[in-house]
Amino acid sequence: MNLKIRTEFGDDHEAIQLVHEQAFGGLAEAKLVAALRAGGYITVSLVATLNDNVVGHILFSPVMIRSAVGSIEILSLAPLAVLPEFQRQGIGTALVKMGIEACKATRYSSIVVLGDPAYYTQFGFSPALACSLKSPFGDSDSWMAMELFPGALSGIAGSVVYPPPFKVFE
């Protein structure tokens, strides 16, 4: 398997849309990616390629924690998808791990995600770390956070505000 993980190129946009449409079985996430790109909200966008064909994609965009003492910008992981025929081969894992490494090179300190805890806790995401962060998607065990350096979220509490393209999911 000739798997490569790299930053998206302009040429990848159509293939990325297709990955999300097929993985999620609908247009919502593909539209979200297009809207985040159009709005300039993409911080990290990686594709997984097999023999130069895009088979997976992960995106990180900034979100705001609004607290009583001010606002702090962190990152959101969403969406993540791998083409159905290539799932369960470690491609999603490679995208998340490389994505987190790429996020460490940005100015952001932490990442939030809404997803399956069984999947995301293996990368360091934790529901407990997100306890003091209010999700716009409602209370759930699927709401997790991870610090990009120890203590990054210590003492931080507030409501997480996503950029406008996420409104359709709230």
In the numeric block, which tokens belong to residue 134? 């209010």
- Residue 163 near residue 127, CB atoms below 8 Å: no
Least separation, in Å, of the C-beta of 56 and ligand COA? 6
Q: Which residue number, 87 or 132, has a Cβ lying nearer to ligand COA?
A: 87
What is the pattern of x (binds ligand COA, CB under 6 A) and - over residues 100-119? ---------------xx-xx
User: In the window 15-54, what residues touch ligand COA (CB under 6 A)?
Assistant: 23-24
User: Among residues 43, 87, 121, 126, which is the contact residue for ligand COA, using CB under 6 A?
Assistant: 87
Which one, of 38, 51, 11, 96, lies nearest residue 30 by Cα? 38
Which one, of 84, 77, 64, lies nearest residue 142 by Cα? 77
**Largest Cα–Cα separation, the chain:** 50
Instruction: Give the footprint of ligand COA on this chain (CB under 6 A).
Output: 23-24, 79-82, 87-93, 115-116, 118-119
